[in-house]
């Protein structure tokens, strides 16, 4: 069975400093991995996805993530935080479910706070 662990429920950074949101996963097969962002009172928006083409994945708004199979990690980073990055971030793993379709498993989320 697949699972996702987001290691920090809250992360606080200063504007202009790097962001690191940590995610570890467990999967029986080669998974697809995603990061979604949820701004207050909004739906979820895809930031980036890993589908085995390249281990370093670039997403929107300057975010990127590196897939490390040996560490079963898919940490999300950004070199310089902006106030507009304040949101909740979800790491998601996808693999084939019992019904044949893809099953998504969400992490519990990391709330990112950006301070002046």
Partner 1 sequence: EAQVTQNPRYLITVTGKKLTVTCSQNMNHEYMSWYRQDPGLGLRQIYYSMNVEVTDKGDVPEGYKVSRKEKRNFPLILESPSPNQTSLYFCASSFSGTGDYNEQFFGPGTRLTVL
Q: Pick from 52, 61, 80, 84: which binds partner 1 (CB under 8 A)?
A: 52
Q: Could you say whether residue 7 binds partner 1 (CB under 8 A)?
A: no
Which CA distances in Å does 65 have to 14, 41, 47?
20, 25, 10
Q: Do the beta carbons of residue 74 and residue 25 sit within 8 Å?
A: yes
Binding mask 22-41 for partner 1 (x = CB under 8 A): ----------x-x-x----x
For residue 39, give the nearest of 101, 86, 106 by alpha carbon: 86
Cα–Cα distance between 40 and 29 in angstroms, integer?
34
Stretch touching partner 1 by CB under 8 A, among 11-19, 21-29, 71-79, 92-100: 92-100
3-class secondary-structure state, position 83: helix
Structure tokens, 30:
């080669």
To partner 1, the closest distance from the beta carbon of 90 in angstroms equals: 6
Q: Could you say whether residue 108 binds partner 1 (CB under 8 A)?
A: yes
Q: Pick from 2, 24, 44, 77: which binds partner 1 (CB under 8 A)?
A: 44
Strand partners, 112: 11, 87
Q: Pick from 12, 16, 18, 42: which binds partner 1 (CB under 8 A)?
A: 42
Q: Which residues bind partner 1 (CB under 8 A)?
A: 9, 32, 34, 36, 41-46, 49, 51-52, 90, 94, 96, 99-104, 106-109
């Amino acid at each position: 069975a697949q699972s996702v662990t987001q290691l920090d429920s809250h992360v606080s950074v200063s504007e202009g400093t790097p962001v690191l949101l940590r995610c570890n996963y467990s999967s029986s097969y080669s998974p697809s991995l995603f990061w979604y962002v949820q701004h207050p009172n909004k739906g979820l928006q895809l930031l980036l996805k890993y589908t085995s083409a390249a281990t370093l994945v670039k997403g929107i708004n300057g975010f990127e993530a590196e897939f490390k199979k040996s560490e079963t990690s898919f940490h999300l980073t950004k070199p310089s935080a902006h106030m507009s990055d304040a949101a909740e971030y979800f790491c998601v793993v996808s693999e084939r479910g019992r019904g044949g379709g893809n099953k998504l498993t969400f992490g519990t989320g990391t709330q990112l706070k950006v301070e002046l």
